[in-house]
Structure 1
């Protein structure tokens, strides 16, 4: 099975990439990295499938050259990676030279292969020493994050092609402090409100630090999930708008408009830190691009109980191995909506899109036609937006390789490359080979 598109179908400056994150692939037990709140979350019974953790992961720390060869062999332009705060600063404050050296080698290795390094500073591994001080609930986290930004980008910022402070603020705050599904595993509305605002404050602080270092091509990366009412009732419509405000518009509005949606203030306003409005100028300083991570839609229905008074309802569409509905029209919706309502002419990138599939290794190969079909349909949705004048400048597949899928352990495979988690052997799947062919330069 092949893709219906090729590189020649896109503008000459359109960037194709693939993405990973530090804790999911590097092996956090290596290189002097410090303990993170994900290590303690994973060590708590019941939090992670099979009690698995990121101690070894894919051992990218030692195998990075092989992995960068895979990026280059896939004919990608960009490699989006993240840096680990706890690798660079094991206690959140003091520098580990080995950590800086690792990312130095990684960036140089990308440039040697003709690849553009796209750095994300934070993809969820908060140093435990800072979690002990309240983590994202503590306003000081923005200052601590600024210090980390200065340390890592003071070393590699002169060579990265693009940079963004925080991957998926919704996951860092709501998923982790309200739903309790990710570290630190809280279910507390006051902690949630403070984490949501402090994540935004840290974004602004890090952006300011990088500007002061003379860096450019700085962006913001938000995960977006299409919220559709479960039925035609007015109440279902209301809670779907509330879900959309929490998940999507809170972070976009903060960064691009310097305000938070009224639907969220209704529920969180009493719990936000005093004087939060005074931070909006720092939070909403200009960025050079906006990244959209998109995977699925959710059907939303009213539910009893306090705000937000909603629940997810199982939908009828085909689903990935994550149980997520496959809904490419949602990507078209967000590209057009974000450009219309928030970013205007600012370039947009699809910084993550992909699927967990029921991959079967047979005779040393994985024929993942379902992943090819998923990516193909979403690229078609992107091309619709592009044809209508939306300034989409790139598309990155999640993920380069199978990895530690957070609370789901190693069972859910998103990779273009199959990883045997015993031998750590890498085997490119059919989707990798098909993409390499589609992206080949004539």
Structure 2
């Protein structure tokens, strides 16, 4: 398999996020985000992103590494609280200038910037007002997007409104495992509905202010397989699929929430206002899918409403990464096929896909040959999708440098560049050298 096997205009990029890389959490007048608060709490033991990979100070070097690896695009997110320390009000000039500098460095090296507007780091001041559970966030988010689209829109043509809404709503406002640590349907339902509305509102503002912009949003997804063909397990898999793969994309396409598969979530209609069905919809230029693992589901009395649980991959005698997620490459093709069937989906980018594995030092090189195998097998699934006529337009590797992996801390290493978190020294892994050669035009 070679680069030339892919379409000539196929986008090869790297993906990252602000909180996981920037550090500089409380300097240059940046306000705290919910992740600053969450990870600096006494009961959180996995460290924090206060320094992360120090991208705030090393962005020039890291972007140059992207160029050296022959990647053509860089996906990064803007920290809302770096621009607006209180979430609303007057912008912070130093924060605004930082992203101008990042964008300018990308363009200097002929790397296309792809900006994600929200990658989970809500300003803490807004969370204190209810965060995503407060319908006022429609106005807060609109204010933020309006500013960013006008401030950076002359240089940035590719935008992603949200990153993985099911992840930050489900883990942050239902299970409490991620920031801000809230639990229960009373938090999940309003947060989910307001997220869907903001997803479309953000797209409409970008379209209004940036006529030639390419606008998308991203969704986490997992191939959901039933434990066996017993009807109760088949239905359990359908419910999990509706929640994990359909819940946030279908409202944007005018299909509403998939409550026919999840009748217990009809309670979300309690949070509707007149006109919301139309307000939820936006005609995106592309969608991003982010695939990491497969789920095997079975019927369970708990949790109620869902009546389904995942059988952990560690109990199924399958290959896993260091976070215990099953490595199942065929699922990537199945997800591309699934999302391509939606009438309103024009183009698909794989906006995140990677894996965390144990790396070893051998002859002065970080040896991660299993990661190379992982990407090769993933790329075969992408080529299969393209050959079947699915409009896959690009692949963004997760990620450049080993970073702060949310509630898991710095233990999982997803980067193709090794990071020493004590010294911030970067070293190319074998996978980085492989990409450098694979993407070479020579």
Tell me the TM-score range normalised by the shorter chain: over 0.9
Aligned to 2:318: 317
Structure 1 residues 367 and 277, CA gap change in structure 2 (3 angstroms)? farther
Could you tell me how far 1:146 is from its partner in structure 2? 1.0
Aligned counterparts of 2:351 and 2:281: Cα–Cα separation in 1: 20
Say if 1:146 and 1:205, in contact at 8 Å, map to a contact too: yes
Aligned to 1:300: 297
Say if 1:292 and 1:352, in contact at 8 Å, map to a contact too: yes
Could you tell me how far 1:30 is from its partner in structure 2? 3.3
Secondary structure, counterpart of 1:419 in structure 2: strand
Aligned to 1:130: 126
Aligned counterparts of 2:366 and 2:190: Cα–Cα separation in 1: 44
Q: In the alignment, which of 176, 182, 186 is matched to residue 182 of structure 2? A: 186
1:276-332, CA deviations, whole angstroms, 9 ceiling, x for partnerless residues? 573232221211111110011011111123211221112332000111101111110
Aligned counterparts of 1:365 and 1:87: Cα–Cα separation in 2: 36
Aligned counterparts of 2:344 and 2:290: Cα–Cα separation in 1: 16
Aligned to 1:275: 272
Say if 2:238 and 2:261, in contact at 8 Å, map to a contact too: no
Find out whether 1:177 has 2:177 as its counterpart.
no
Secondary structure, counterpart of 2:275 in structure 1: helix
Aligned counterparts of 2:71 and 2:31: Cα–Cα separation in 1: 32
Could you tell me how far 1:32 is from its partner in structure 2? 2.1
Unaligned runs of 5+ in 1: none
Report matched runs for 1:28-427 at 5 Å.
Answer: 28-49=25-46, 52-94=47-89, 95-215=91-211, 216-263=213-260, 266-276=263-273, 278-305=275-302, 306-314=304-312, 315-344=316-345, 346-362=346-362, 364-427=364-427
Aligned counterparts of 1:364 and 1:90: Cα–Cα separation in 2: 43
Secondary structure, counterpart of 2:324 in structure 1: coil
Secondary structure, counterpart of 1:308 in structure 2: coil
Could you tell me how far 1:18 is from its partner in structure 2? 0.7
- Runs of 4+ in structure 1 displaced over 4 angstroms? none
Could you tell me how far 1:20 is from its partner in structure 2? 0.5
Structure 1 residues 74 and 358, CA gap change in structure 2 (3 angstroms)? same
For the aligned residue pairs, the C-alpha RMSD in angstroms reads 1.5
Say if 2:399 and 2:414, in contact at 8 Å, map to a contact too: yes
1:152-171, CA deviations, whole angstroms, 9 ceiling, x for partnerless residues? 22211111131011100101
Say if 2:283 and 2:344, in contact at 8 Å, map to a contact too: no
Could you tell me how far 1:270 is from its partner in structure 2? 1.7
Unaligned runs of 5+ in 2: none
Aligned counterparts of 2:48 and 2:3: Cα–Cα separation in 1: 38
Secondary structure, counterpart of 2:4 in structure 1: helix
Say if 1:253 and 1:342, in contact at 8 Å, map to a contact too: no
Secondary structure, counterpart of 1:144 in structure 2: helix
Aligned counterparts of 2:88 and 2:45: Cα–Cα separation in 1: 28
Secondary structure, counterpart of 1:17 in structure 2: strand
Aligned counterparts of 1:148 and 1:257: Cα–Cα separation in 2: 25
